[in-house]
Amino acid sequence: MKFTELTEDKKLFIFTRVDEHTKRVQSESLGSLEAGINYLFLINAGGAVAVLSFLGAAEKAELRTSPLVALAFFAVGVMLVGAIKAFRVHYFGKRSTVWFTESARFFAGEIDWQDLNERYGKAAVEPRWPYVVGYASFACFVIGALIGFWLLCAAG
């Protein structure tokens, strides 16, 4: 049933529901994802700083390729986080645009409630690759940290 065909009570109920969903989409989308992405950035950037400090303190004759490999893993981890952040900006921008556009069409009586939910559902489907990239970023941190641990053990 289209919005314009509903009774005033049902219009108010649906408008409230759409408004609540809009607020939820905005807050849940950004909050939890940003926290996880910021964590990945922090650990990889921190690892890179630690390796750079190690390189600065090491004698040139002692310098091996292992710290550079660890630094490379941390740097790749940071770049992967950048790719996730760029994807999130575009994904949530598109998702929000679809929700706002289609809910406006619903309120104008152009589409019904089922159409609104179907169209938004299609826009809300998230590809799997950002998750793979996120885990790859974490793996870069783990590998870089293991190399750093191995260096400490070998030096001590």
pLDDT of residue 38: 82
- Tens of pLDDT, residues 117-141: 898 888 888 899 999 999 999 999 9
Question: What average pLDDT does the segment 70-79 reach?
Answer: 88
Supply the range of the domain harboring residue 87.
Answer: 3-155
**Cβ neighbourhood burial of 47 (10 Å; 0-12, 13-18, 19+):** buried
Q: What is the per-residue pLDDT for 61? A: 46
Residue 26: the pLDDT is 73
Count of the separate structural domains present in the chain: 1
As given in the structure block, the two tokens for residue 45 are 């950037």
Which two structure tokens, joined as six digits, stand for 22? 């809009």
Q: Are 45 and 123 in contact (CB under 8 A)?
A: no
Average pLDDT across the chain, whole number: 83
pLDDT digits (tens, 9 = 90+) for 9-35: 888 888 888 888 878 777 766 776 777
H or E stretch at 156: none
